[in-house]
Amino acid sequence: EDQVTQSPEALRLQEGESSSLNCSYTVSGLRGLFWYRQDPGKGPEFLFTLYSAGEEKEKERLKATLTKKESFLHITAPKPEDSATYLCAVQGAPSSASKIIFGSGTRLSIRP
Amino acid sequence: DAGVIQSPRHEVTEMGQEVTLRCKPISGHNSLFWYRQTMMRGLELLIYFNNNVPIDDSGMPEDRFSAKMPNASFSTLKIQPSEPRDSAVYFCATLAGSARGELFFGEGSRLTVL
């Protein structure tokens, strides 16, 4: 059964203090691993798709990396506006009609 | 495009009542997903459709839950009868066939069952 586990559950950082969020996954034939951001009272918003081990994607202060068993979301010199819940999701084989399942998320708080 | 539109945004009802949540997907998106989010269980996949056909409903908690997609422009999630443990935020999300994993979420429907 496909499974996604995220850690830590919550992370509090000082502004400018870099860190990483972890996403471990088990899936039959990875079609894609995805990162989303969710602000309070809103639906999740898409950030990145990673397709294969070794791939990296960047957006502003965020960089996502992928290995065969886990993904990291690195946050460099974060700002208070980066505070949100970050969700990891996976889609397995065989096709684009496959289900997408989410981890429970990491609540990130950046103090000024 | 207005994005994924869900209604109602908030619903408060009493145990035993029927609840119907509605979703209008983005035009041209051929996959539609219903998720439920709680603090305890996170974001759970309930059911998803591809080209209006239900593909996997293994996440639907029990027979009290049902979902339909009568056409490409509309889907409903119904709970009958509702119970307090159904209290959660229910999200509808859609996906264009060519885009892997880029789900577009609605604002969610917050359900409270008293």
- Over the stretch B26-54, which tens digit does the pLDDT of each residue have? 999 989 999 999 999 999 999 999 999 99
Look at residue A61 and give its three-state secondary structure: coil
* C-beta atoms surrounding B20 within 10 Å: 14
Q: Which tokens is A95 given?
A: 């096709």
In total, the C-beta contacts within 8 angstroms joining chain A to chain B are 68
Res A98: pLDDT: 80
Q: How far is A91 from chain B (nearest CA, A)?
A: 7
Q: Mean pLDDT in each 10-residue stretch from start to end of chain A (112 residues)?
A: 93 97 92 95 94 94 96 97 97 76 96 96
Residues of A in contact with B102 (CB under 8 A): 34, 46, 49
Does residue B25 sit at the A interface (CB-CB below 8 Å)? no
- Which of B95, B98, B105 lies closest to A44 in CB terms? B105
pLDDT at A97: 64
Write down the pLDDT at residue A2.
84
Task: Give the closest-approach CA distance of A1 to chain B in angstroms.
Answer: 12
Query: Can you give the pLDDT at residue B71?
Result: 94
What's the pLDDT band for B19 if we cut at 50, 70, 90? very high
Q: B58-113 pLDDT, tens per residue?
A: 999 889 999 999 999 999 999 999 999 999 999 999 988 666 678 999 999 999 99
Residue of A31, A45, A97 lying closest to B50 (CB–CB): A97
> Is A4 strand, coil or helix?
strand
The pLDDT assigned to A7 comes to 97
Contact A108, A8 (CB under 8 A): no
